[in-house]
Amino acid sequence: MARQRIHNRRSGRGSSGTGASWISYSDMMAALLLIFVLVLTYSLYQYFTMLETKTKELDDQRLILDQQSVQLKLAEDNLNDKEQKLIVIQGDLDKLKIDLNDKEKELENLQVILVSKEADLEAATLKVQEQQDALNAQALRIDSLIGIKAAMIKDLSDSLSSSNLKAAVDPNTGDIKLDSAVFFETGKSTIREEGKELLDQFIPVYLEVLLRDKYADYLGEIIIEGHTDSKGTYNSNLKLSQDRALQVALYCLNMPGLTREQKAKLQQILTAKGRSSSDLIMVNGVEDPDASRRVEFKFSLKDAEMIDEMNRILSGE
């Protein structure tokens, strides 16, 4: 076309100016069109290049977004797990709160019981203290009684010895054994004159010691016991021993050498007992009949049973 146009121009050099102008205009339009095409082509190239770049960037962003979506999903799942764990923990916490409330109620109940127990303990402690005080008082009483009895036994021994009376005093009990043959004939309960003489000497000395002012408040009882050997039946020996003890007691109560006060006191504390053959005197495992037939004078102090029980406890019986 360009060649044609040149040819035409050369062949038409003689044409009019209008045709030349038209050809210049056409060339100009063709040039403009070419420039437009070039600009459009470059623009399209730039557009597609930019589009490719943007597409690649978009793909990269989409990939990043997908990765973030995955991470978000993982985070959401993790959050859901944590929420489930939180629900479980909250449930455990609620249960613990309930248990805590129950424990607090139990603690309150225990505190009430503790207060009650403390009151009981204080009362028990006070009672124990009172019992301890009473026990201490009893211990002092026992010590006093033991000391009193020992002093009475010693005074009895000393007084009988100084009066030349052959009557042995048991150093532990204060019991005095008198030979029954001196008082009675065999099988009899009437006191012989020899026995009366012995009682007239023995009883004043015996009572003088036991009824002294320092012992009078402690003396509880004087016991006259009659004993037999094993000959005969128990029942007959019981009657005989009782009759003998009674005769000795009556003789003592009616003894003219006693003062009115001594007789009055004796009436309050004197007891006669028959023991039959229940307490025989044994020598090397064999009965001694002469020693078994006897009259015993015994005395006991007030609270003597308490002393005996305490002695049994202390001796482990």
User: pLDDT tens digits for 79-131?
Assistant: 888 888 888 888 888 888 888 888 888 888 878 888 888 888 888 877 877 76
User: In the prediction, which pLDDT does 21 show?
Assistant: 76
User: In the prediction, which pLDDT does 125 show?
Assistant: 74
Q: Which residues contact 217 (CB under 8 A, 6 or more apart)?
A: 302
Angle at the Cα of 175 (from 150 to 200), degrees rounded to 5? Answer: 110
User: In the prediction, which pLDDT does 307 show?
Assistant: 62
Distance CA 47, CA 44 (A): 5
Better pLDDT: 73 or 12 = 73
Q: Are strands 219-227 and 294-301 parallel, antiparallel or unpaired?
A: antiparallel
Q: What is the pLDDT of residues 32-65, one digit of tens each?
A: 888 988 888 888 888 888 888 888 888 888 888 8
| Whether this model's pTM surpasses 0.75 | no
Asked if residue 200 lies in contact with residue 257, where contact means CB atoms within 8 angstroms, the answer is yes
Please give the single-letter amino acid code of residue 42: Y
Instruction: Give the mean model confidence (pLDDT) for residues 179-202.
Output: 91
User: In the prediction, which pLDDT does 112 show?
Assistant: 87
Inform me whether the pLDDT recorded for 9 exceeds 60. no
Q: Which residues contact 284 (CB under 8 A, 6 or more apart)?
A: none
Task: Using a pLDDT cut of 70, give the percent of the chain over it.
Answer: 85
The answer to which of 27-31, 122-126, 137-141, 182-186 has the lowest mean pLDDT is 137-141
Backbone angles phi, psi at 287, to 5 degrees: -65, 135
* CA-wise closest residue to 174 among 122, 121, 215: 215
* CA-wise closest residue to 239 among 255, 228, 254, 250: 228
Asked if residue 5 lies in contact with residue 24, where contact means CB atoms within 8 angstroms, the answer is no
Q: Please report where in the chains the tokens 């001594």 appear, as a residue.
A: 262
pLDDT tier for residue 158 given thresholds of 50, 70 and 90: very high
